[in-house]
Amino acid sequence: MKKNLLISDRSLSLDQCYDFILSDECGGNAIFVGTVRNHNKGESVKHLDFDTYEAMALKVMGEVADEAIEKYDIEKIALHHRKGMVSIREKAVIIAVSSAHRDAAFQACRYAIDELKKRVPIWKKEYLENGSYWVNAHP
């Protein structure tokens, strides 16, 4: 199994992602972690809420993972994303990649997070001190 996909309403685990990608054949491991920050566009953010069309999101995440494996010749990839309410400093997304060499791991990790944000039907709502709004609504 070369890919591990997860959408969860519980805390995401760096250890779970890292343990999945570890391989005796791979010396390059890259991990991207996206956390919730306390501000955006000059406003104080209280928390985020992620909504998703989960079946379709997992399908598209699988496509992104397959593309990264093919394009960058990586060994393994984990794509994990939160759903529901996520507090400041909590992990919202983890992308973990392993390959024989670091350059492919870095490139595949960057490709995966960029494509996930562009294509996967996961929507983010920011809750501010004075209201809330959907951010970058897409797919």
Q: Give the pLDDT confidence of 24-60 residue by residue, as tens digits.
A: 999 999 999 999 999 988 889 999 999 999 999 999 9
Domain 3-135 in this protein, CATH class: alpha beta
Mean local confidence (pLDDT), 4-26: 98
Q: CA–CA distance from 41 to each of 38, 121, 128 (Å)?
A: 11, 23, 11
Read off the tokens for 35.
């956390």
Could you report the per-residue pLDDT of 81-123, keeping only the tens digit for each? 999 999 999 999 999 999 999 999 999 999 999 999 999 999 9
19 phi/psi in degrees, rounded to 5: -60, -35
| Residue 44 CB neighbours (<10 A) | 12
Mean local confidence (pLDDT), 2-11: 98
Q: Where are the domains of the chain?
A: 3-135
The reported pTM is 0.95
